[in-house]
Amino acid sequence: MEMQENIKSDYVAYEYLSVDVKKNFELIYTDCYENLGWQAISSSESENVLINHGIGSMVNLKLKRARKIKNRSMLLSLQRKCEGALSKIDRLETSKESNAVIISLSIGIAGLGFLMGAVFGFLAGKLLLATVLVLLGCIGFAFPFSIYKKIKIKQEFKVALLIEEQYDLIYSFCEQAKKLLA
């Protein structure tokens, strides 16, 4: 009877978590989850990579944690806050480039519209109008890349402070979680 109770007390029930993250965020996610009491389940690297297309490759993190961990509800709350901050960092990283792309594409499309207007103006016999529209169209094709670079640099500067704030939040949440686990 005593032996049977010993066997039952050694049993540990685990909860499992599988998270798909961008490859460049893999380490920060791993650190956060480890501070929240999760352990990485080792598997082969080729099994972890989900999508591999340049910068946007995704990795699947497989984690486990004892179900009867102390302060579990508070850890879950901190985990949600960490995940929220990490997703906000991802959105901010994406916004660095998206605004610049939208503006530069808009200028390029406007340049295309001017060139199309130039063709119709030329066909209608209005050479002065066609010449002006060709010049505007060429400007629309010549400057989007330089405008893209300028906007991206400004956006990176603006977003860098917000990203740093999110990292500080994550570090404070992880610190709180470590104290709860101690």
In this predicted model, what pLDDT tens digit does every residue of 132-174 receive, in sequence order? 999 999 888 888 999 999 999 999 999 999 999 999 999 999 9
| Torsion angle of the four alpha carbons 151, 157, 161, 163, in this order, in degrees rounded to the nearest 10 | 60
Task: Please tell me the distance from the alpha carbon of residue 179 to that of residue 182, in angstroms, as a whole number.
Answer: 5
- Residues 26-49, mean pLDDT to the nearest whole number: 77
Q: Quick one: what percent of the chain has pLDDT higher than 70?
A: 87
φ, ψ for residue 133 (rounded to 5)?
-65, -35
- Residues 34-49, mean pLDDT to the nearest whole number: 70
- Residues 61-68, mean pLDDT to the nearest whole number: 88
pTM: 0.71
N-terminal to C-terminal alpha carbon distance within the chain:
33
Task: Please tell me the distance from the alpha carbon of residue 66 to that of residue 39, in angstroms, as a whole number.
Answer: 9
Residue 67, pLDDT score: 85
